[in-house]
Each structure stands twice: as C-alpha cells, then as structure tokens.
Amino acid sequence: MSWTVIGRGPAGLLAASLLNMHGEECRLVAAHEGTMALWSGVMDRGDPELLPLNAEEWQTLWTLLSRLWGSMGIETRLGPALTLSCTGSLKATFLCPTWQYCTPDPGPLWIVAFEGLPDSLQDIHLSAIEAATGHSPFWQRLPRPPGWDDSWTAVRWASFIDQTEGKFWLKTLLQDLNPRVPAGWPLLLPQVIGRIRTGEILREIGRDLRRPVFEYPLVMPSLGGMRIRDLWQAWLRNRGVPLISGSVTEYLKHRIHLDDGRSWGADHVLMATGGILGGGIKVLPNGVVEEAITHRALGQITAETGWGPVFRWGSEANGSLSACGRQRSGWDPDRDRNGGAMILATVYQALREQGLNILTVPRKGGLMSHAGF
C-alpha cells in the first residue's frame, strides 16, 4: 500500500506520523508551510458534547498526540485549561506545550511586555485579566535592548534571546524587578524566548527568580507553532518520510500530479489541504467555490448564500481520497474553538475510511508499543 498525504499543516503532519508509526509507506507533499507558524500550537477541544467520538476514543487520541509530541521533545500539559492571549482574554485549550502558560485555575500573575515588540500584552488589558481571575497582575514593560531597530520581528527577538547576550539582557532586568513581585506568582514573558533553547532558558530564569516562568502567545508569526513545526518535520525526516515541496493539481487513476509535471502512484490519498485558508478550497473570482485538487464544485456564492456556511463547506471521502483537517466539511473551529479536536477526529476518520483504524490497533499488539513509545 502506498499513501500520499497532501499538506504540511497539523493535519498532514499528524496523518503522516500515524501512517509512519503503523509501518505504512507514505509521502508528504505540500505547496507551502501549513498554518503551524500562524498560532502558538495549542490544541483546543471546544465543547466535548458536540464531538463525534466517545470519551474513551478521545482519551486515546489526545494521549497519542501528547506522547507523539513528547517523543519529539515537546512536553505538554493535557486536560481542560485556560491560557492567556496577548490582549488579556483567557482562552480554553486542551493540549498545551509546557513553555506556554496554561492552567485550570489562573491566579495572580507577573506579566512582562517588551518595548518594541508590538504584540506584547499592554497595561490596558490588565483590567480584563483582573476581571477574569480576581487578581490584579503585576505588569512591567522592559526597555528595548541595545541594537534593537524597527526591523525586529518576533523571530528576530527569539534568535536574540537564544544568544547569550540576549538571555543576559533579559535575566538582568528581571532580577532587578524580581524582589518587587510577591513570591510564587508565575512570570509570563512574550512568546519569543528563543526558537531553539526555549525550555532551557525558561528553566534557567525560573531557577534564578525562584518562580515558575512561562510564555504567553503573540499573534503571528508565532514562535510556539514554529518550534512544533520544526521538531515535527525533523521527526518525520528522521524516520524516513519524504517531505516533498510541490503543488498538487490532480489525483487521477491512482496517480498524483504536480504542477511542474512530476507524478507518482498512490493507493490512498489524504487531502490535508486546509480548506479556504490552506488553499485546498478555492473561491474563484466568479463566486464558484471548488476543491482545488479534484476541481469539484462545492457551491456558488450568490446573494442568497450566507458567508457563515461557506466557511463550513468542505470535502469528505471520495474513493481512495479522504479529506482531513480544515479541508473536511462541517467543521468551523473559528466558531466552535475546537481546532485541535478537529485535527484529531478528522485524521482518525480519514485514515479509517482508507482502511487503517488506529484505535483498534492496540488490540492487535498495543498502540503505544506499536507506535514506538
């Protein structure tokens, strides 16, 4: 059996990982980076009542993802919890890397902003945090570091802090402030604390200040998602999964075709192509909405359709082709805040449609041992 996964977003990466763990031959092809770098990588569940699997199945899938990430070196916290946005809202999430602040029961906080980093949490957002947690945070803005200029993006900040000079700049300023903040209050820093050495730096600062230290996520590009993406792709490469760059134009008679003429055979194809945002669904200038790979029309936007449903139009199973992630019809993580659950459920469903049921594997020898954990 040969498989091709189209798309390098979270759905494609997960599908390719599961196939690899089950000893299937799989190629991963994508036109661009998926959405991983656009958000912090926390996986939301939304309202469990609305989800299509039973509690035990969910438990297995979530645990699987957290162990998979663990095997890449990404430690996580699993379970319902709140995380903080850079504009002060507390947001429900379910699987969260431990570098990011995330707790079922938010208490008093020490929040730091960096001058010159536009998405740093600002003073006007403190009242929202106080209203939600019942505690007024201690807030400070650190002055711009030497050498800063207006071209510094979040990625540049992170590489600065990855270096000794940047880490020292940060530690010195924090040590001066530390005595003014009550003991035990966790410190929250903008999510630019390194791209590579994040865990190490956060632990080091934590030891210095004798308090827990976390990041709060910024908007985009997002270092949290980039770290996961980089580790995930490296994990796949190490295990021999070919990551191919290219744009798929057609899947016909069990062959994948790319726009540059390359083509190969595939018995099963997973379309993890991301829907409208990912490019797997095109809204043409004439208002026709179509699947990018099969060119099947999903609908036509007219004065009668609403926009709400258009963002829920999508693909399902179609012979040896199955859709997963945001490409799958019926899901709307913007409305339902269940992006992570959508990834897990649809990848499971698509693999199953194509003949691989990852939930029944344990009976045949134990999922986790099979998966190599």
Partner 1 sequence: MVIVVGAGATGLGIAWDLVLRGIRVTVIEQGEVGSGTSGRFHGLLHSGARYAVTDPVAAEDCWHENQVLKRIAAAAIDDTGGYFVQTHESDEAYRIRWEQGMRQMGIPYRAEALGTLSRATGESLAAFRAFYVPDAVLEGFRLLQLLQQNIRLLGGDVLVHTRLAGVNTHGGTVRGVLVEGPDGQREMAADVLINAAGPWAQNVSALIGDKLSLQLSYGLMLIFAQRRIKTVVNRLREPGDGDIIVPHREVAILGTTDIAVDEPDAPQPPIDDVIKLWQLGKDMVPGIENWRVLRAFTGVRPLYAGTANTSDPRQVSRDFKVIDHKTRQGPEGAFSVVGGKWTTFRLMAEHCVDDVCRYLGAYTPCRTDRVPLRPPQPDLHQPISPEPGDQTIYCECESVKGHQLQAMDGSLDNWRTGTWFSMGPCQGTVCAHRAVTLYCQKNPGEDYASQLRHFRHEREKGMQAAALGINARQWALQKAVRFQTLGESWDEPKGVADIATRPEKDSEEEYRT
Ligand X SMILES: Cc1cc2nc3c(=O)[nH]c(=O)nc-3n(C[C@H](O)[C@H](O)[C@H](O)COP(=O)(O)OP(=O)(O)OC[C@H]3O[C@@H](n4cnc5c(N)ncnc54)[C@H](O)[C@@H]3O)c2cc1C
Q: Which residues bind partner 1 (CB under 8 A)?
A: 35, 38-40, 44, 85-87, 89-91, 115-119, 122-125, 128, 149-150, 217, 219-220, 275-277, 279, 283-287, 301-308, 311, 333-335, 337, 339
Residue number with CB closer to partner 1 (36 or 201): 36
Length of the chain: 373
Tell the smallest beta-carbon distance from residue 363 to ligand X (Å).
Answer: 29
Tell the smallest beta-carbon distance from residue 33 to partner 1 (Å).
Answer: 13
d(CA 185, CA 187): 6
Judge whether 191 and 157 are in contact, CB under 8 Å.
no
227 binds, among ligand X, partner 1, none (CB under 5 to 8 A by kind): none
List residues bridging with 81 in a β-sheet. Answer: 93
d(CA 15, CA 270): 8
Give the strand pairing for 321-323 and 268-271.
parallel
Residue number with CB closer to ligand X (27 or 167): 27
Identify which of 155, 167, 158 has the alpha carbon closest to the alpha carbon of residue 201: 167
Tell the smallest beta-carbon distance from residue 43 to ligand X (Å).
Answer: 5
d(CA 339, CA 304): 28
Judge whether 32 and 279 are in contact, CB under 8 Å.
yes
Give the strand pairing for 268-271 and 281-283.
unpaired
Tell the smallest beta-carbon distance from residue 265 to ligand X (Å).
Answer: 17
Identify which of 264, 254, 327, 260 has the alpha carbon closest to the alpha carbon of residue 296: 327
76 binds, among ligand X, partner 1, none (CB under 5 to 8 A by kind): none
342 binds, among ligand X, partner 1, none (CB under 5 to 8 A by kind): ligand X
325 binds, among partner 1, ligand X, none (CB under 5 to 8 A by kind): ligand X
Tell the smallest beta-carbon distance from residue 209 to ligand X (Å).
Answer: 28
Q: What are the residues binding ligand X (CB under 6 A)? A: 6-12, 29-32, 34-35, 38-39, 42-44, 247-248, 272-274, 277-280, 292-293, 325-327, 333, 339-340, 342-343
Residue number with CB closer to partner 1 (116 or 362): 116
Which tokens sit at 95?
């699987």
Residue number with CB closer to ligand X (8 or 167): 8
301 binds, among ligand X, partner 1, none (CB under 5 to 8 A by kind): partner 1
- Specify the residue for token string 């390719």: 16
251-to-6, 159, 259, 267, 346 alpha-carbon distances in Å:
11, 41, 12, 11, 20
Residue number with CB closer to partner 1 (179 or 285): 285
